[in-house]
């Protein structure tokens, strides 16, 4: 006599269990996607910094930045020309400052 009620109760429990399972699957999917995105961003950031260092020290002006600003370089004229063609972001000396620097090197 109460068989239909038992079937209804089992169906309701199965429905709630299915909804809960779908919700848990969705939450786990979001956690996985977030984790993969975070790891990917860390790896890409590492490569970006590695490329930035490579660019700074080997690509700027076709030579190493260390060579551009080498204090042991003996010829004053080449120092002036290298200062004048300095990479962007570095302030170029005015002509008067360049003349003073060239005179002090000689």
Verify that 33 and 76 share a domain, yes or no: no
Verify that 88 and 57 share a domain, yes or no: no
- Based on the structure, what is the number of domains in the chain? 2
Band (pLDDT 50/70/90 cuts) for residue 4 is: confident
Verify that 44 and 83 share a domain, yes or no: no
Domain residues for 25? 1-63
pTM above 0.95, yes or no: no
Verify that 20 and 34 share a domain, yes or no: yes
Give the number of other Cβ atoms within 10 Å of residue 79's Cβ.
19
Query: What's the pLDDT score for residue 84?
Result: 52
- Say what angle helices 95-105 and 76-84 make with each other, to 10 degrees: 160
Verify that 85 and 37 share a domain, yes or no: no
Verify that 59 and 74 share a domain, yes or no: no
């Amino acid at each position: 006599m109460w068989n239909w009620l038992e079937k209804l109760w089992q169906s309701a429990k199965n429905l709630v269990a299915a909804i809960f399972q779908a919700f848990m699957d969705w939450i786990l999917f979001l956690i996985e996607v977030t984790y993969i995105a975070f790891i990917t961003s860390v790896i890409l950031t590492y490569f970006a910094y590695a490329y930035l260092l490579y660019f700074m020290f080997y690509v700027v002006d076709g030579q190493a930045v260390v060579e551009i600003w080498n204090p042991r370089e003996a010829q004053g004229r080449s120092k002036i020309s290298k200062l004048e063609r300095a990479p962007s972001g570095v302030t170029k000396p005015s002509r008067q400052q360049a003349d003073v620097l060239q005179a002090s090197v000689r």
